[in-house]
Chains A and B, each alone.
Chain A
């Protein structure tokens, strides 16, 4: 059994956080693309209020896991199940998952020429409000809300008039992802390599944005292959993904250890798993 982050089964209590219930339960998840299996039986349980980090070498399947959770159709789920608050996530469309509170910050956010950032954000927010049978926000309320979030991420308001991600620098794109996350207030936020391509100042801004969202009603899954980001977004649990499987789990010290020793010392763990 390689699940040490399971609710109530954690090796020790971290940050005095109590795990009241599991928000996300991934059981023996398998996924393939073009007939090739990439996720080979993932088991992971995340409780509300927790921050989990998934680390692993390039090509180990981190983005695949994040994408499968968000509902990207390129990947074929070949086995296992995923429950969000007890609901079968895998049978929901991507937009329904978003409604249920899943949010993925993309590793490579796509550019959408011709769609202004403000129109996009307002449409997304209202779509999710509608999912919860809430009234749509009018332009004024929306503007007030987004302005506050932009201040937090030190983003200039001129972003709102620009087309989504078009001509944005790498750092601006990542900040835009976190802005969306701050606006949509997901229950499960998945961040795929949000640190890549960020200088240290931008990294701190992004981390502040994420930390502001931490709270007992939300969980965060941070995907990264450097431990650097984890100095700023301190995880409760760290998992190592290798060749489509979680081969080791631990607390934040595991990340430090990986930083020091690389991934190869874990080769034995694969066999043990």
Chain B
């Protein structure tokens, strides 16, 4: 692949560039990309007239002239320099296997040595060495035919992580995928499209964290797709930590398939990004499969964070629990749309969904909507949603005991957030996130009182 310089162009024009760029792909992939590109041209970016995008307007993305990130955007010494600036965002103290991507390009010299017994590599490497395994799964989980963004990723993804944990292997350390994004060489907004494929064998266990971080004011679009399959009785804890800059766009598709008795525990933690949309869909594909999806969003200023989840109960006896919380300050906007689909025959489905929002200012807003589609009769599905300010009675109670107003508010918001964080099972990550969120909350309240 030649690091051809890309002119700053619209996404439409970029699409044409992808065609040239990926001319060296395997024929099956080239074919898929062509399809995806045709599809993207067909549907384009979604508009708020579409039910799925009613609350999130992506016009700012459609109107930005991005430049596709290329290896030239992360050459030495730029790459090392970026990495050093981004180092505070890396969960180094947790000692995981790390794969680092800078502006979408793998940085092997900054990544840790591969783990024994499992494969952690880049998707490009995997395609060269395990082409058939990649081919069997890539594009099969994320439904790119239904979504312009996922189609765009499929048409033009640069690289990403490939993880294969064989049957029965318990991975000794967490795997960390770090995606650092900055402005392009010319300060132009970059389009970064990671594509990650994770295959977990039967009975295998893994803690996987995806960290997205960025600092610059450049309006980069990160448009990642993650596809993951859990074999029978596999157990995965998935942490997604979003800490991009306030002007960044982030539209993600994460699609997970659970076979019988597989267990997924996920946390989506949104601390950054100007316009964020996470699409997390889980297909429960075997009896005893269990998915627990937790989410926490902290947003201030004019940030907009949208979480769409789909729990697709495709067979009998599967369970899903969902808890999404939002703390919105300033003029921040939040969206939660949780769809629970119970397919015909998926009897004894147990699905529970809760979303809770605290509005820390009068200008913040939240749209929360459950969506239940149930085609079986012997099921238990519940959902609930609350939105409101901090409880005045609780604040008064704390103040009447000598605790200052700001501290009382911080304490209450921390309790609200801590309820989600305490559900992280892997203790080092839990502690790391608790400290991180405590710091962010202090900032949120200090900013609030100073304005």
Contact = CB atoms under 8 A, between A and B. Distances in A.
Interface of A: 70-74, 93-95, 97-99, 103-104, 106, 109-110, 112-115, 120, 123-125, 127-128, 131, 163, 180, 184
Contacts of A114: 414-416, 418-419
Contacts of B412: 112, 115
A180 B397 CA distance: 12
Interface stretch (B19-27, B288-296, B300-308, B399-407): B399-407
Interface stretch (B88-96, B106-114, B388-396): B388-396
Interface in B411-451: 411-412, 414-416, 418-419
A71 B403 CA distance: 13
27 contacts: A72-B396, A74-B392, A93-B405, A94-B396, A95-B405, A95-B408, A98-B402, A99-B402, A103-B400, A104-B400, A106-B397, A109-B397, A110-B391, A110-B397, A112-B398, A112-B412, A115-B415, A120-B398, A120-B401, A123-B403, A123-B407, A123-B411, A124-B401, A127-B403, A131-B402, A163-B415, A184-B402
B400 A71 contact: yes
Q: Which 5 A-B pairs have the closest CB atoms?
A: A114-B415, A98-B402, A124-B401, A94-B399, A127-B402
A265 B415 CA distance: 51
A110 B408 CA distance: 14
A23 to B, nearest CB: 18
Contacts of B399: 71, 93-95, 98
B445 to A, nearest CB: 15
Nearest to B417: A114
B406 to A, nearest CB: 10
A120 B412 CA distance: 11
B404 A127 contact: yes
Contacts of A125: 402
Interface centre among A72, A93, A110 (most CB of B within 10 A): A110
Contacts of B391: 110
Interface in B44-81: none
B397 A112 contact: yes
Contacts of B404: 95, 127
Nearest to A74: B392
| Most chain A beta-carbon neighbours within 10 Å: one of B391, B393, B407 | B393
Nearest to B401: A124
Contacts of B419: 113-114
Contacts of A113: 415, 419
Given A71-B400, A72-B396, 10 more contacts: A73-B392, A94-B400, A97-B400, A110-B391, A110-B393, A112-B394, A114-B418, A114-B419, A124-B398, A127-B407
Contact of A98 (B392, B393, B401, B418): B401
A112 B393 CA distance: 10
Contact of B400 (A74, A98, A131): A98
A127 B400 CA distance: 11
A184 B400 CA distance: 11
A113 B397 CA distance: 13
Most chain-A CB neighbours within 10 Å: which of B398, B399, B402, B404?
B402
Contacts of B396: 71-73, 94
B326 to A, nearest CB: 15
A99 B402 CA distance: 6
Contact of A124 (B392, B403, B415, B416): B403
A87 to B, nearest CB: 16
Nearest to A95: B399
Interface string B368-402: 00000000000000000000000111101111111
Contacts of A109: 397
A106 B393 CA distance: 11
Contacts of A128: 401-402
A104 B401 CA distance: 9
A270 to B, nearest CB: 32
A106 B391 CA distance: 16
A84 B212 CA distance: 55
Contacts of B418: 114
Contacts of A98: 399-402
B402 A95 contact: yes
Contacts of A97: 400
A97 B394 CA distance: 17
B433 to A, nearest CB: 15
Interface in B188-203: none
